[in-house]
Structure 1
Amino acid sequence: MSTILYARVSTIDQNIDHQRSQAETAGFVIDEVIADHGVSGVSTKLADRPQGKRLFDRLRHGDTLVVRWVDRLGRNYQDVTDTIRHFMRQGVVVQTVINNMTFDGATTDPMQQAVRDALIAFMAATAQAQAEATKEAQRAGIEARKGDAERYRGKKPSYDRKGLVVVTDMLATGAGASAISKATGLTRQTVLRIKADQAGAEKALGKWGM
């Protein structure tokens, strides 16, 4: 039985090594990393990605698939839910680093199955919603550059996209604003603003083309 980390990066600001170190810090012992680079989780299904295909071939009954969060599998609701259910039928355990969620096909209790499936659906829907918010932010950035950019954009964010990823990752693991401020160099007020409105923080980067 193997523990395999699947990682996906779609931009140069994201990093495969960060996803592995985050998993190992959470206590996972990774036997193998399978990763796709520069691949969109919105438009390309997991089974259609170069290494995603390999993942389907590699996983066997009793193996554990580890992902940073379900958005690494994809940002399309149908694809993510279909993928997780496929692996569960194959006897593969799916675990997330963020929030430490475990999905498997072990339970036969209808109520527990319903709760599990509802949670999978919620997480998959959240992943798609985040992708749509990012796309909207990018459109806003394009519109800002067409007109009075300074007035439309507002104040330039003090963080970049990489910094936002670090902040949201640390928030997801329960870190406090002071600890995040110390780790990122951002002010505590900035961290709190991001915490209060993560979608708005994403939009602010998009307005500035960041």
Structure 2
Amino acid sequence: MQTILYARVSTADQTSAHQRTLAEKAGFKIDEVVADEGVSGITTCLRDRPQGRRLFDMLRSGDTLVVRWVDRLGRNYVDVCDTIREFMRRGVIIRTVINGLTFDGATTDPMQQAVRDALIGFMAATAQAQAEANRITQRSGIDHAKEREGAYRGRKPSFTKAELDAVRDGLSRGDGISGIAAGTGLSRQTIYRIRDTPAEAEAAIARWTL
């Protein structure tokens, strides 16, 4: 039996090494890391990613698949639900670093199965909804920046795109400000500013990356 970390790295600010560090800090002993670099979780299903296909070939009954959160598997509701259920049917245990959730197919109690499946559906839907919200906000920020192209870009943001995404993920899950600040290394004031003016935060990143 082995413990495999799957890391999907969609931007230049993210790294599989960072995701492994977070997993190990959470107490996971990782035997191997499988990572897809520069792959969108919205448009590309796990089976269609080069390392995603490898993951399906590697995992066996009794293995544990670790992901930072379910959005690493994908941001499409149907794909994420199908993926988790397929792995559970194989006897694979899926565990998340964030929230410390565990999904497996061992239980035969129908009530426990119903609760487990409802949670899977909720998390998959949240991943897709957050991706769609991020895309709308990003588009708004880019459009705003283009309208002001050539103008003063303002002060450089104190956070990166990856940190902005991490803050928004945390806020969407209902995490506390102090916890998000500790997890990202940003100040509480910065977290509050992102929370209260998300469009401006996205626009600031867009202005400095155009």
TM-score by length of 2: 0.84
Distance 1:56 1:159 in 2: 35
Match of 1:90 in 2: 90
Question: CA 1:119 to 1:58, structure 2 compared with 1: closer, same or farther past 3 Å?
Answer: same
Query: Aligned runs of 1:42-53 on 2, under 5 Å?
Result: 42-53=42-53
Partner-residue secondary structure (3-state), 2:14:
coil
CA RMSD of aligned residues (A): 3.0
Residues 110-133 of structure 1, C-alpha deviation per residue, up to 9 Å, x if partnerless? 111010000000100111011101
Change (3 A) 1:117 1:170: closer
Matching residue's letter, 1:21: T
Other-structure match for 1:73: 73
Q: CA deviation at 1:134?
A: 1.3
Q: Please say if 1:206 is aligned against 2:207.
A: no
Q: Distance in 1 between matches of 2:120 and 2:42?
A: 17
In structure 1, C-alpha distance between the alignment counterparts of 2:180 and 2:142, rounded to whole Å: 34
3-state SS in 1 of match to 2:33: strand
What amino acid is the match of 1:206?
A: E
- Structure 2 residues not aligned, in runs of 5+: none
Q: For the structure 1 residues 58 and 132, does the alpha-carbon distance in structure 2 shift closer, same or farther, using more than 3 Å as the test? A: same
Deviations 1:37-69 (A, max 9, x none): 000000000000000000000000000000000
The 2-side partners of 1:25 and 1:169 are apart by: 19
Q: 1:181 to 1:25 in 2, by over 3 A?
A: closer
**Equivalent residue runs for 1:10-21 within 5 Å:** 10-21=10-21
- Give the corresponding residue for 2:25: 25
CA contact (8 A) 2:181 2:187 kept: no
The one-letter code sitting in structure 2 at the alignment partner of 1:180 is A
CA contact (8 A) 1:160 1:205 kept: no
More displaced stretch, 55-64 vs 132-141: 132-141
1:138 matched residue in structure 2: 138
3-state SS of 1:43 partner: coil
Q: Calculate percent identity across the aligned residue pairs.
A: 62
